[in-house]
Amino acid sequence: MNESVGFIGLGIMGQGMARNLLQAGFELRVWNRTPSRINELLAAGAIPANSPAELASQCNIIIVCVSDTPDVQAVILGENGIVHGAQSGALVIDTSTISPRATREIAEQLAQRELHMLDAPISGGSEGAANGTLSIMVGGEIAQVERAMPVFSAMGEKITHVGGAGAGQMVKLVNQILVVGNALAMCEALIFAQAGGLDLEKALAAVSDGAAGSWMLTMRGPQILERDWSPGFTIDLQQKDMRLALAAADELGVPVPITSMAFHYYRALQAQGLGGDGNHALIKAMERLAGIEVRASR
């Protein structure tokens, strides 16, 4: 493998992605704003860096996986950011979910320094990150996508080049609109089933493989029945993505009423201090409206 790889951002998704790169045989340098999060990866063979700039000076491909647009801007363009260390021709891959407009602006600034960028947001939750089964939607130049394929293949199963700079972020927002729409439908259906006196485990089994089936229902429906709110993706992160989707929809003049409804349910849960719960805890807001709690029959 001729490319040396760096990874910035070792949170709920980044940990699994970085570990899969190590297991695929890449020499991996890592940096995280909270240093303690790199310890397990160091034990697995990763090499620490003291800053994004230092990491970039030692890597041809630099992967970023942080929370929001300002975080990406900071680690790429800010003080001690990637641009202050990266060598001409290096490739920055941003797997975060951020503003499509900001992505295009960052890509332009990198291009002025003879640096390449791909926006490559991910879907599949912490399970997909850990198992290397993520879906990755990629925006940018096809030559750089081909260059990055060994890296993408170590982290995901479904890698799709969807267009130029910013297109990956737009497709990710399409994904998130679908995610919350599915989540709302799932929660509404489970409350309906609970009110109707059904055995919810049998009801889930009956519908999951038919036309009503979805990843959300299969993966998160059983968690709801067990009242297990451990996150594959947190409410706080989901809400950040909804904010991005609503802002982009506003720019486009497109009505997105289901997404808006989910945003306000999530805001109510955040106000109750539940932002760290898994995004399927959406049902708690709907349960409060209905006066019904959903749980397994046993």
pLDDT computed for residue 297 by the predictor: 81
Give the whole-angstrom CA distance, residue 130 versus residue 167.
Answer: 25
pLDDT computed for residue 63 by the predictor: 98
pLDDT computed for residue 274 by the predictor: 98
pLDDT computed for residue 215 by the predictor: 94
Pick the CATH number of 5-164 from 3.40.190.10, 1.20.1250.20, 3.30.9.10, 3.40.50.720: 3.40.50.720
State how far the alpha carbon of 261 is from the alpha carbons of 174, 184, 213, 215, in Å: 16, 9, 22, 21
| Strand duo 122-123 + 134-139: pairing | antiparallel
172 included as an active-site residue: yes
Tokens found for residue 171:
């497709």
**pTM for this entry:** 0.92
Crossing angle of helices 167-195/282-290, nearest 10°?
40
Give the whole-angstrom CA distance, residue 227 versus residue 171.
Answer: 31
Find the helix or strand (DSSP H, E) in which 125 lies: helix 125-131
pLDDT computed for residue 3 by the predictor: 82
Integer-rounded Cα radius of gyration of the chain: 20
State how far the alpha carbon of 57 is from the alpha carbons of 4, 38, 54, 220, in Å: 10, 19, 5, 41
SS3 232: coil
- Our measurement of the distance from residue 143's CA atom to the centroid of its chain's CA atoms, rounded to an integer in Å, reads 24
- Domain spans in the chain, listed from the N-terminal domain onward: 5-164, 170-290
pLDDT computed for residue 219 by the predictor: 95
Contact at 8 Å (CB) between 176 and 241? yes
The pLDDT averaged over each successive group of 10 residues in the chain (298 residues) is 87 95 96 93 96 97 96 97 97 97 97 98 94 97 98 98 98 97 98 97 96 96 97 94 97 97 98 98 97 89
Amino acid residing at 96: S
Fold of 170-290: N-(1-d-carboxylethyl)-l-norvaline Dehydrogenase; domain 2 (1.10.1040)
Catalytic residue among 158, 172, 202, 284: 172
pLDDT computed for residue 2 by the predictor: 66
The contacts of residue 221 (CB under 8 Å, 6+ apart) are 186, 190, 204, 208
